[in-house]
Chain A
Amino acid sequence: MLNQPLHAALMSLPGVDASRGIEVLQCSSANATGAIIYLVSARTHRRVDAVVKTPRNPSAHHSIAAEWDNVTQLYRDTNFGQLLPAPLRRFDLDGATFYAYGGIAGNTMFARYRNRLLSSRDRTRASFGRQALDAALRLHASHTRAVSGAVLAQDLRDTLLMLRGLVSDIPAALDGHAAKAIENLANSGIELPVGRIHGDFSPYNLMTEGRFRSGCSGIIDWEHSEPDRPQHLDIFRFISGCELMGRRTFEGGAALLRMSSPDNPVANKLWLPWLRSMAPVHAAAATQPAVYGALWMHFFVVAAYREQRRHSNPADVSPSTYFRGLCELAAKSAQPSHPR
């Protein structure tokens, strides 16, 4: 490695056996966080010992520092801290800050998904849903409280308002759908958990050592984690991520409808068991079609807002955005339904 100061810093990371030298592989992220990522492993074995991130442009806004703060705080939690990458060290070199984490065994679920040969798409996704349930319950149970449907309705209303601040031309039909969802949530009488969420709880960030394991080996990319948000957003994020992964073409509203289809294998393996654990008293009410549809609308609006906020230029937003899907749904007056 030509950068000797960086090489020396990586050699001295805790947990890296540098006695016979190290290997450093650079993998850059091309997404909004703009991280340059180094995978460090000792030459004595095949696993990754450390993952080191640094912002591509140290002077620009980036979320890598926020991730470090989240991980260092949450790693101490005895219940789900093991799911996080161990924060090893933060160090500065030539004006850039580097954040080093311990490696996590296995691959992302998406990597497992795209490398599958014999297993069907639905069976693979269902097994991911089962594995994600364990991680979601451990994470969400750590810090949670129940809030009424009215609070969720208010959250949907607020997010819609913020989305309107970013996108001026929200179709009237979408407004109508959102108003209906707000009304349904406010009158539902349900109580759902609010607390710590991962924020990007998707198959791209959940690590697994195989389809037949009972749980995940870890969760990565904690920059979007928040301490006090509706926790069903994580569950719906996972279901939607499973639906969208591997799709080559933009399907818009059709994909959004499939996420909430009665036949969605992930929803049945994840949403219903999660609901029975986290809100057993209100599970039946939350599975009513009107309430379930309203909860999905809540998720779609939150996801659309996040995508729009990440891309200041609307032209940057990829074709598979939630906002465009929502607009398509609104134009067709279609509504999500509930899994059987």
Chain B
Amino acid sequence: MRPVSRKPGVIVLDDDGERAALIARSLAGSYDVATAGTVGEAWQLAARRTFSAALVDWDLAPGGSGIQFLLNLAERLPLVQGILYSMHYGQTLRWEAMRLADVHVVLDARAPRFLREAGLVLAECLAPAIPVVPGQLTPIGPAARARWGAVSRATRTFLEELHRAARSRSHVYLVGEPGSGKRLAAALLLEWRRGWRRGGGVLRRVAPGPCEAKILFVPPLRRRTADLPMLVGRHLLEAAGRDGARARVVSADALEAIRQRPWWGNVRELQQALDRACARTAPGSEITAGHLLGPVEPAPAADQWAKLRGQRDSLLRALEDGGSVTGAARLLKISRANLQRRMEHLGVVHASVLPGDRKLLAGHARLVN
């Protein structure tokens, strides 16, 4: 019988056996690594053992795609962190990975430091849980990053892209699950644009090509577990400030329980869960796993999920090709109003036209200082 390992499990899926073996060797010290050469083998492994993360090559011969595997993985095992790598790393690949499979971490397998990067990303995703003490939170840089608790690579990358988009003239569409922070991102975008214009900056069009629609994917909470301590701490501080009481502390087991949830309602659901836990505990006391209620937001039904994915994909392509909502509606041969309803339903927000919500941004300075 196989002895039970205390190390987090990691699966490496790569048709290049030599590279897979080398990745396994470099990670073996900290993780329980298993390698698979084909998608079938990977599913067999997943059926036998528990994994916390999957490192997947994009180009799987013959004709296989790592993105496809990660898409299925996100559907079946949403809590497994998917990390894609490729010899053909590029912006297009990153976009495809985000669009199709919510993969927000894509590594360049050509880079000399690829193995080290892979180790760092896994360490970020699978770090052991420690108690969150809001008073001891360390500020993490600019206000925008602090607001997002941007410790994770996925969030940092998203904010960098948002910042770049703020300096372009393109229409920005934000895509994400409910409660993931699309409106906050839109408010940030408008704030950055205003600041950029005030400073005499010039809004550039995305070059080159006819496309003037920039599509950004807001990472779901389960893809940025490294941000959880900062997000939890920030919310507890805000709650304490509201009530005029001492901030509560979150125990390690509670944080681990939080990490083990898929959070289909994302940050909004997390905030509600914390508010309820606060109501059940005295000010200044410790929130344990027992104080957290069960998941509120249900997981989407698999068939609905696939259908909505397909619809969203087609809608995003139309937005990209059409360049605007009107252009996309013309391409899809539906009315503009209908398209806007579909966008809302599918979690696509046209950030450039949302009214700036200053209240959303009000908490920045408080947290950082």
Pairing of A with B: no
